[in-house]
Each structure stands twice: as structure tokens, then as C-alpha cells.
Amino acid sequence: MERTLIDNIGKSEGKEVNIYGRALNVRELGEIVFVQVQDYSGTIQCVFEKKTEIKTGDAVEITGRAKKEERAKGGYEVHATSEKIISTSTEDLPIDLSKSELKLQLETLLNLRALSLRHPKVQAIFKLFDIVLKSYSTVMRELGFTEIKTPKLLSAASEGGADFFKVDYFEKSAYLAQSPQFYKQIMVGSFERVFEVGPVFRAEPHFTTRHVNEYISLDAEMGFIKDYKDVTRTLNDVLIKMFKIINSESKLYMETYSVKPVKVPEEIPYIKLAEAKKIIKEKYDYDVPKTTDIDPEGERLICRYAKEEFDSDFIFVTHYPWDHRPFYTMPDKENPGETYGFDLLFRGVELVTGSQRIHDYKMLIENMKKKGLKSEGMEFYLETFKFAMPPHGGWAIGCERLVQLTLGLKSVKEATLFPRDVKRLSP
Amino acid sequence: MERTLIDNIGKSEGKEVNIYGRALNVRELGEIVFVQVQDYSGTIQCVFEKKTEIKTGDAVEITGRAKKEERAKGGYEVHATSEKIISTSTEDLPIDLSKSELKLQLETLLNLRALSLRHPKVQAIFKLFDIVLKSYSTVMRELGFTEIKTPKLLSAASEGGADFFKVDYFEKSAYLAQSPQFYKQIMVGSFERVFEVGPVFRAEPHFTTRHVNEYISLDAEMGFIKDYKDVTRTLNDVLIKMFKIINSESKLYMETYSVKPVKVPEEIPYIKLAEAKKIIKEKYDYDVPKTTDIDPEGERLICRYAKEEFDSDFIFVTHYPWDHRPFYTMPDKENPGETYGFDLLFRGVELVTGSQRIHDYKMLIENMKKKGLKSEGMEFYLETFKFAMPPHGGWAIGCERLVQLTLGLKSVKEATLFPRDVKRLSP
């Protein structure tokens, strides 16, 4: 008998259907047994008017009649006539997947990832992740960006040298890409607008709720800009279009976390970093530590200000100091101590980093020298700027953070399928 | 003045337009200068009735009147009234981008990648690559697959141990993922159908036209299959749907390489490997070397057979020997020396590898031991099979090979933006 997808059961009302899936939940109520079954298309309740051997977690095949049932979630249920256990657990499940909340410590949740991912509330996170990926590439293509895939193995730890993972590469050493920065810039010379979705690797020994050492970066780079605001405005537009898709297609997953659709303002407010620091000192009596450009508490307060002042979950912080930005960042024409580098903060956390880049060869070399950097391993990148690079800029969105902040998850690791940190390389 | 995208010039016929882009080509014809300009939306001819300083390769802004011109490619041209050189080369371009063919040695083409990528014929390869990426995720979502992003840093060099790149990971060692194999299988337990688009890393010291050490793998894994043919049939369907998109949206790029649309048969022919070897011996008098399951010449001849016998560019070769397939491959029930592992060959080359996997815990452990493998570093993977994994299988498509074979390129490196091989880590 042909398989019926759970999502299509409505079309077979009154008819016999054959479904395959996982038993999420088995409840006995007197003579009747209710089995909640999930396949890749959806979830449905199967009703047995007899005992069944099916246990929570089993992979099953169930034959029965599709019936309308207004009290059921999807409007239908299956009155089972026969069942087959395709695969069962050889040990008791270490977690109770039938509860509505898993309530596990983060470490346990991650150690048991293969199983905790079977819980609908955990699944919801990665269904939303899927939609975020889809929305980004859909919107970027709509705006004329070409998708590129650049190498993650580099010959040199450029941009400074710290925070890179070293790789044994045949007789040589290689380094894992911290970002597709150089490559996406080069590609502006060819396609003008490019985007990439790929892993980036950061060897920073963080122990926070907002960092992992490997994550998915949603990158973009665009040419023929007039100034950095062409970049921020495009990003603003991208986010509006992305969240239109996410809010509509992730409704169910957002409801699971009792969060509202994300509102992206038509014009996200802007503030210069120096001004932002003044405001959080005056308004919230907080001093950003002198050793950083901005710290997490500072970011949280800037976002509080954006919410209070502009009713916005987003705010662009611009004009980051030259000292704290990479050598390719365009300095502010009027105030070279500052740059056309920006961050986009979302609900208290940095979500995006971007900037206008330097496109003039001489200026780039000078800026590199001022930073005390050597050109070794960057020759191919620097050389490109001898050949008519247009003014350009771009951004990198942290995909896991976007998911985390959208659902209000405590740690970015909850929004990472198999997170990597200083201590964790497995599962 | 607002920028007009080249693709939209037709809508501004007779009006003044302001275009930005790169001068691909500058030709003087007496008093008249023709400048071919490209932006991210398209290419157009600009006509100057005076001298201009614009050189091939410059980034320019041109103002002029949009005119209908039937002899022009897109049906329009711009009669320039003023121009601005936004960015120019500080050195002569080392390659002539205005020629219709670059005619460079592969090494030169790759060494000068940042510039060779500006040539329309090279661009065409990566515009098609972009469409391949788009088509894969579009089709996979249509078929109910969830997109996942799994870690590229692993705690152990599993599946044997050779061919892995080693990474210094804080105080420990990590390894770069050869494939998302274990993770995508685990995820079948959660989402039933998953796909991934991501880099994979192979430390094989190849020197061939069909290998690179880092490439993009189009992975998939699906649950509740009856046998491996559920996997191959789904793959067949995916390829039909993908090439429907590719053939239609890459028409221009395929014409650039004088290749025809790719025909994917409704039912790609199947052949068992043992039988295929017999046929190529009998028909083409070729003996596959005993040390391999099949060699490149053998693959070429099987494809020749598929073309001659079935008029097909594709052929499934199934039942690869147990000796040559990874431990998680499902052995053939009737003949355990063979497996339900398959390759899909396309125009003479292996394009896809896949199989039905073992989903039974005991069988998996036994098979692992028979292969002489240890469970170290694979515990999280193996443990999952204690918990009711459904029968499943999947595949991995080599994205660069698909592009290479579609366009008939000599080397897979031509279809890789910045290829990595034993000798090449840069650009």
C-alpha cells in the first residue's frame, strides 16, 4: 500500500491510509490508546481501540482510516486497524520525549543532542533555522546577489594572525577561514554583488552564551556604493524581506516559544558609537570599559535605548574606532580616528558586523602598514586592488544568533545543531 | 541622479539614464567609441561620439540616453553624454579581458583568479554554479527535506582515519569533516529528511582533473525507505527537477560553452558493478585493475555503454563490493560480499555516491568490527542506533563536478572558485 504523508491525510478522509513515522507519545485511556505520530510532513494522532506494542520513540507503520476530528490539531486523526513496529529502542530512552518541555541543563541537552533533537520544541529551533537559510538566499538572489562558495582552507592567518585554527596541510600549514572577507571582496570585482552562506571558524577561547567557535555566517558584499549607508540600507531591506518570510513560515515555531513576529523598522535607527556611549552613561549611568570599543552590557543598554526611544528591536551603531576595526575598513573622511564600520544590534546583542571597505590600492597598503600588518599571504588580495575595484562594502550576519534572538533562547548553543566550544568537539 | 540597472534600460527608452559598472571592452571606430559595460544585472553597449578616457577594466559611471538598437544584444544601447571613471587600474591588466577567449593555461587562470573571474566566459561558470546551488535547495525543500548545517570540526578522524586534515584545536586535536555522514544520519532520527550544502575536506594527495581537496557537497539523507531504490529514485527525481531549473535559467551560460541542455531520463538505467565490469570487458576489451572496485577508465566505459545502449548521460552503478564501502553501508541481503551502495555516473565521471545505511545497532557494531574499526570518537553516532532509527539512506553530489560536467570543462578546478590541491592553497 502506498504511503500517505501525514500532511495529506485530509485528502483521504474516510479512506484507508498507510502512514510511516515516529511515535512521539503513547497514552492509554482505558481501552483506547492514543499514539502521536510524526513524519517529515507533520504530526497526527492515531487511535487504537485495542492494546498496542508501540512505545514512545518507535519508528512505526500504521494502517487505518482517516477521520475528521475537530478536536485534533490538524483536524484529522487515524483510526488504526493495524500497526508494524519498524524499529524500536534497545534501551530505555535517557530523556522523556513525551513531555511538553525537556527541562534539561544545557550540557545534558547537548550531550544527548541526537535524541533531544527529536523533541518537537527542539525541532522547532532548527525548522526555523532552515527557514532563515531559505529566506536569506531567496532575498539575496531577488536583490541581484550571486551565491559564491569560497575556500575555508587558507594559506596564511591574515588579518592579524590570532584567533585562527591551524591545519596540517600536506607538507605545509593552512589556516581555517575566520570569514570569507578577502574572497567576497575580490568577487565584487567580478559579480558586483555576492553572498555566501558557510561555516566560519574562530579560535577565540570564549566561555559565553553568545559565542561558538564554528558558526554559519550569512555574508554579503556589494559594489558601486556611494557610502556605507548604501550597505546599511540594503541590509535593512534584506532583513525586512527575510522576516516577512520567517514570520509567516515559522509562525508555528515562534508560537512554540511564545514569541511574537519580529518587526523590522522601515528605517532602523542609527547612532554613532561615541554618541551611544555618552547616552548610556547619561541615561543608564554605565561606563563602557576603556579596553573595548563596546562591551555586552553596553550593547544591551544601546538596545534598551533603541526600544525606549524608537520602539525598535534593531539599531545600527556606526563609526567604530579605527583602532578596533580591521585594516580594510574605510576610515571616516572627516575623522580618521573613526571608520565607516558598523554593527547592527538586535535585542541586546550584536547580530551583524559590516563596513564600507577601502577600495584604493595605495590607501589599503598604507592602512595595513599603519596597523603593523605584513602583506605575507595577502598578496593575491592586495594585488586585486591595483585593478579598478569599485567602492564597496558588506556585512556578515551570525545565523545562529539570529535564530537565538528571534526565539529568545538563552544561549546561542541552543540554536546550533552540534556546537563547538573550547571544551566541546562532540557530538 | 538615480542609478538605472542595465537590465532595466528598456523601460527608460528615450530617457536619460545613469549606469554604473565595469568597462569590459573599449573599441574605437573612427570618431565613435563603443564601451561595453557590465553591472550585476547585465551588459550593455555605450556609444560615445567623442574620445573617452575609459579603458578596458575601469569601474565607471555613464550618463546618456537609452535608445532602441536592434543590432545590440539586449535590444538597447546608451548614447553617452558624460562619463566618470570611478576606479581605474594602476597597472596594465596582465590578461586581455576584452578577448572572447582567455586561452590561459590552467595554472595561470587560477593564479590570476581575481582577474580571470572578470571574464564573461569564466563568470558564466559561476553563474551556473549559483543556479545549481539554488536549484538543489529549492528542489530539496519541495520534497520535504530540512536544511541542516553540521560541524566541520570533528573530535576524531572516524571512518578509518586516513584522508583527514588535522587541526590544532585549543589543547586538543580536531579533524576536518570528510563529509557530514554521521550527522546527517543522526538527523534522520529527528527530521526524517535532511539536506546539507557545505564544504568537505579530503586529505587525499590527488593530482587529477577530477579532484580537489576542498569542495562543496550536496548531501541528503532520508528515512523510512523500503530499500536503496527509494533513495536512487528520489535522487533521479531531484536531478530531473534540478536540471529543469538549470537548463532554463542557465541557457545563456550553457550557450557560452556551446553545450546542450542536460537530459535526465525519467528512469536512469541501473547496472550492478560486477555486471558492468563484465560488459566493458566483453564490449570494449577493458580490464578494471584488480586493486580497485572501478577506475576512471572503467567509469568512462560504463558511461559509453549507457549512452550507446540507453541514450543516457547518466547511469546508476549499484552493488559495490563490501570491501570498498564504508562500514555503515547496508550489505546485500542475498550476497553479503556486495552492498546496497551505489554511484551515479554522469558523462564518464562519478557524480554521486550513496547507499542504504545500516540502521540496526547490533548489525552496525558487527560490521564496524568486521572492518577492523574502533568505536573511539564515534560513540555519539553509534549510540543513536540504540534508539529506533528507521531504515534510511542518502547521497552526496559533488557540486563542482556537476558544474564541470554540465559545461564540459576539462578540469574540476575550472568549476571551483579558488581550488585547493596538494600544491595550491592560494589565492
Q: What is the pLDDT of residues B251-293, one digit of tens each?
A: 999 999 999 999 999 999 999 999 999 999 999 999 999 888 8
Are the CB atoms for B37 and B73 separated by under 8 Å? no
Location of C-alpha cell 558523462: B347
Inform me whether the C-beta atom of residue B98 falls under 8 Å from chain A C-beta atoms. Answer: no
pLDDT band at B68 (very low <50, low <70, confident <90, very high): very high
Which one is the CATH code of A120-415: 3.30.930.10, 1.10.3720.10, 3.40.605.10, 3.40.50.720?
3.30.930.10
Give the model confidence (pLDDT) of A153-191 as tens digits.
999 877 665 789 999 999 899 999 999 999 999 999 999
Q: Which of B21, B117, B172 sits opposite A190 (nearest CB)?
A: B117
Q: Which residues of B touch A176 (CB under 8 A)?
A: 167
Rounded to the nearest integer, the mean pLDDT of chain B is: 95
Q: Which of B129, B146, B427 sits opposite A130 (nearest CB)?
A: B146
CA distance A411 to A402: 12
Q: What is the pLDDT of residue A208?
A: 86
Specify the DSSP class assigned to residue A391: P
Q: Which residues of B touch A190 (CB under 8 A)?
A: 114, 117-118, 123, 126
- Is the model's pLDDT at B154 over the cut of 90? yes
Which CA distances in Å does A418 have to A105, A108, A289?
15, 13, 33
Are the CB atoms for B286 and B301 separated by under 8 Å? yes
Q: What is the pLDDT of residue A157?
A: 77
Using CA coordinates, name the residue in chain B closest to A419.
Answer: B151
Residues 6+ apart with CB under 8 A from A142: A241
Using CA coordinates, name the residue in chain A closest to B424.
Answer: A155
Are the CB atoms for B10 and B72 separated by under 8 Å? no
Stretch A329-347: mean pLDDT: 96
Subunit contact A87:B389, Cβ cutoff 8 A = yes
Q: What is the pLDDT of residue B400?
A: 98
Are the CB atoms for A362 and A355 separated by under 8 Å? no
CA distance A253 to A259: 9
Q: Which residues of B touch A90 (CB under 8 A)?
A: 361-362, 386-387
Q: Which of A40, A172, A425 sits opposite B172 (nearest CB)?
A: A425
CA distance A392 to B209: 35
Selected residues 142-181 of chain B with any CB under 8 Å from a CB in chain A: 144-156, 165-170, 172, 174, 176
Tell me the DSSP string of A206-219. --SSS--SEEEEEE
In a 3-state reduction of DSSP, which class is residue A69? coil
Strands (E), A49-171: 59-68, 76-87, 146-147, 153-154, 166-169
Residues 6+ apart with CB under 8 A from A150: A177, A180, A183, A184, A187, A196, A198, B417, B418
Least confident of A59-68, A270-279, B74-83, B152-161: B152-161
Interface test with chain A among B4, B147, B164, by most A beta carbons within 10 Å: B147
Bridge partners, residue A352, by sequence: A344, A397
Subunit contact A137:B141, Cβ cutoff 8 A = no
Stretch A109-134: mean pLDDT: 97
Ramachandran quadrant class, A409 (left: phi over 0; alpha: psi -120 to 50; beta: rest): beta
Q: Which of B3, B205, B380 sits opposite A170 (nearest CB)?
A: B205
Selected residues 302-321 of chain B with any CB under 8 Å from a CB in chain A: none
Stretch B89-97: mean pLDDT: 93
CA distance B387 to B406: 42
Domain boundaries, chain A: 6-87, 120-415
Subunit contact B214:A151, Cβ cutoff 8 A = yes
CA distance B427 to B404: 20
How would you write chain B as a 3-class SS string? CCCCCHHHHHHHCCCEEEEEEEEEEEEEECCEEEEEEEECCEEEEEEECCCCCCCCCCEEEEEEEEEECCCCCCCEEEEEEEEEEEECECCCCCCCCCCCCCCCCHHHHHHCHHHHCCCHHHHHHHHHHHHHHHHHHHHHHHCCCEECCCCCEECCCCCCCCCCCEEEECCEEEEECCCCHHHHHHHHHHHCEEEEEEEEECCCCCCCCCCCCEEEEEEEEEECCCCHHHHHHHHHHHHHHHHHHHHHHCHHHHHHCCCCCCCCCCCCCEEEHHHHHHHHHHHHCCCCCCCCCCCHHHHHHHHHHHHHHHCCCEEEEECCEHHHCCCCECECCCCCCEECEEEEEECCEEEEEEEEECCCHHHHHHHHHHCCCCCCCCHHHHHHCCECCCCEEEEEEEHHHHHHHHHCCCCHHHHCCCCCCCCCCCC
CA distance B346 to B369: 34
Inform me whether the C-beta atom of residue A245 falls under 8 Å from chain B C-beta atoms. Answer: no
Using CA coordinates, name the residue in chain B closest to A200.
Answer: B152
Specify the DSSP class assigned to residue A413: G
Other beta carbons within 10 angstroms of residue A260's beta carbon come to 9
Stretch A194-213: mean pLDDT: 93
Q: Which residues of B touch A124 (CB under 8 A)?
A: none
Inform me whether the C-beta atom of residue A102 falls under 8 Å from chain B C-beta atoms. Answer: no
Selected residues 248-287 of chain B with any CB under 8 Å from a CB in chain A: none
Q: What is the pLDDT of residue B1?
A: 83
B392-398 sheet: strands from edge to edge: B146-147, B193-201, B214-223, B392-398, B349-356, B341-346, B314-318, B270-272
Please choose, from the candidates A197, A385, A136, A410, the residue with its C-alpha nearest in 3D space to the C-alpha of residue B89: A385
Other beta carbons within 10 angstroms of residue B54's beta carbon come to 22
Q: Which of A203, A361, A381 sits opposite B90 (nearest CB)?
A: A361
Are the CB atoms for A81 and A65 separated by under 8 Å? yes
Helices (H), A257-295: 273-284
Are the CB atoms for A229 and A342 separated by under 8 Å? no
Size of interface A-B (CB pairs under 8 A): 278
Least confident of A351-355, B209-213, B340-344, B405-409: B209-213
Q: What is the pLDDT of residue A376?
A: 86
User: What does DSSP say about strands A392-398 and A349-356: parallel, antiparallel, or unpaired?
Assistant: antiparallel
Q: Which residues of B touch A205 (CB under 8 A)?
A: 170
Interface test with chain B among A107, A184, A222, A418, by most B beta carbons within 10 Å: A418
CA distance B176 to B420: 14
CA distance A340 to A257: 37
Interface test with chain B among A7, A18, A425, by most B beta carbons within 10 Å: A425
Inform me whether the C-beta atom of residue A192 falls under 8 Å from chain B C-beta atoms. Answer: yes
CA distance A225 to A246: 28
Inform me whether the C-beta atom of residue A100 falls under 8 Å from chain B C-beta atoms. Answer: no
Task: Give A372→chain B minimum CA distance, Å.
Answer: 22
Strands (E), A275-381: 314-318, 341-346, 349-356
- Is the model's pLDDT at B88 over the cut of 90? yes
In a 3-state reduction of DSSP, which class is residue A326? coil
In a 3-state reduction of DSSP, which class is residue A86? strand
CA distance B401 to B349: 8
For domain A6-87, the question of CATH label 3.40.640.10 is answered with no
Q: How far is CA A303 from the centre of its chain?
A: 20
Inform me whether the C-beta atom of residue B57 falls under 8 Å from chain A C-beta atoms. Answer: yes
Task: Give A274→chain B minimum CA distance, Å.
Answer: 32
Q: What is the pLDDT of residue B160?
A: 59
Specify the DSSP class assigned to residue A15: S
Q: What is the pLDDT of residue B126?
A: 98
Subunit contact B170:A203, Cβ cutoff 8 A = yes
- Is the model's pLDDT at B74 over the cut of 70? yes
Stretch B133-148: mean pLDDT: 98
Q: How long is chain B?
A: 427
Task: Give A237→chain B minimum CA distance, Å.
Answer: 17
For residues A205 and A33, which has the higher predicted lDDT (pLDDT)? A33
Burial B56-72 (b: 16+ CB within 10 A, else e): bbbbbbbbbbbeebeee
Subunit contact B425:A172, Cβ cutoff 8 A = yes
Q: Which residues of B touch A183 (CB under 8 A)?
A: 417-418
For residues A291 and B174, which has the higher predicted lDDT (pLDDT)? B174
Subunit contact A21:B169, Cβ cutoff 8 A = no
Percentage of chain B beyond pLDDT 70 is 99
The secondary structure element, H or E, covering residue A110 is helix A106-111
Stretch B3-10: mean pLDDT: 96
Q: What is the pLDDT of residue A160?
A: 60
Which CA distances in Å does B232 have to B147, B222, B323, B336?
20, 11, 22, 20
Q: What is the pLDDT of residue B161?
A: 59
pLDDT band at A74 (very low <50, low <70, confident <90, very high): confident
Please choose, from the candidates B151, B180, B214, the residue with its C-alpha nearest in 3D space to the C-alpha of residue A170: B214
Stretch A35-49: mean pLDDT: 96
